[in-house]
Amino acid sequence: MNLIPDISNHIPGHLGIIMDGNGRWARMRGLDVAQGHRSGARRVKDIINCCDEIGVQYVSLYAFSTENWLRPKEEVNALMNLLVLFLKKEINEFNSKNCRIMFAGRREKFSKKVLNTINYSENLTKDNTGLTMILCVDYGGRQEISDAANKIEGEVNPDKLSSNLYLPGIPDVDFLIRTSGEERISNFMLWRLAYSELYFSDVLWPDFNREEFHKALNSYNTRQRRFGARR
């Protein structure tokens, strides 16, 4: 069966991905959780390359939620170190491909090393005009809306709230993929998911290869988006 999607007229402009299942993937193989996260990081590069090839404009990756700080300290430290190592290893290649890297979330809890890496990645790629990869770190959808509302003086309305989100120039999410069999959005981009199409895959994130990605896109291509209107 041909799993390569017919994307000539119908591709998501903004794709969101909840990359779930790294820990389970590792435990199923008798590995430590950090190895699962490392395998998941390698999958990021592959899927970003897929998105770049087919013309997706924005990809938002749920990399570290506000709730993830509650995980064991060793796992949190491993995730922070992995973020730094991933960016240092891949940033030049992303930049050479005209990819822009942005970050969404709060930054107060990050170490100086993490902040320096984030700032360097953003500054290096800020003028690139190709695919935009948004890494959502220390991110929560409720927190984003709350932070936006706190910036507004006077009456709060949808336009004002939207213009005060972490990245106000970014469009709404067209298509959300979540891996690992869980079927919830877990406080991810609540504002921008208002009319998103949702896709839940049973595959754990480190195993979510190009074939699985094409399955998801084929599903998206069957959807008729109505945005609340009757058609």
Q: What is the pLDDT of residues 58-87, one digit of tens each?
A: 999 999 999 999 999 999 999 999 999 999
Distance between CA 36 and CA 41 in Å, rounded? 9
Residue 174 annotated to the active site? no
How many Cβ atoms from other residues are within 10 Å of residue 66's Cβ?
Answer: 19
Global confidence as pTM: 0.94
| H-type alpha helices, 55-192 | 73-96, 112-125, 141-151, 158-162
* SS3 of residue 165 by DSSP: coil
Give the active site residue among 22, 32, 46, 68.
68
Instruction: Please give the structure tokens belonging to residue 10.
Output: 């119908």
Per-residue pLDDT tens digits for 12-51: 999 999 999 999 999 999 999 999 999 999 999 999 999 9
pLDDT for residue 3 is more than 50: no
How many Cβ atoms from other residues are within 10 Å of residue 11's Cβ?
Answer: 19
What pLDDT is attached to residue 10?
83
In the chain, which ranges are E strands? 14-18, 58-65, 100-104, 132-139, 175-178, 197-200
214-227 average pLDDT score: 89
Rg value, the chain, Cα: 18
| Angle of helix 210-220 versus helix 33-54 axis, rounded to 10 | 50
Each domain of the chain, given as residue ranges in start order, spans 18-220
Query: Is the distance from CB of 217 to CB of 5 less than 8 angstroms?
Result: yes
Instruction: Please give the structure tokens belonging to residue 173.
Output: 């999410």
What pLDDT is attached to residue 176?
98
Residue 209 annotated to the active site? no
What pLDDT is attached to residue 9?
54
Per-residue pLDDT tens digits for 96-119: 999 999 999 999 999 999 999 999
How is domain 18-220 classified at the architecture level of CATH? 3-Layer(aba) Sandwich (3.40)
Amino acid at 148: A
Mean pLDDT over the full length of the chain: 94
Give the active site residue among 2, 6, 9, 20.
20
Distance between CA 22 and CA 136 in Å, rounded? 17
Distance between CA 60 and CA 51 in Å, rounded? 11
The percentage of residues in the chain with a pLDDT greater than 70, rounded to a whole number, is: 94
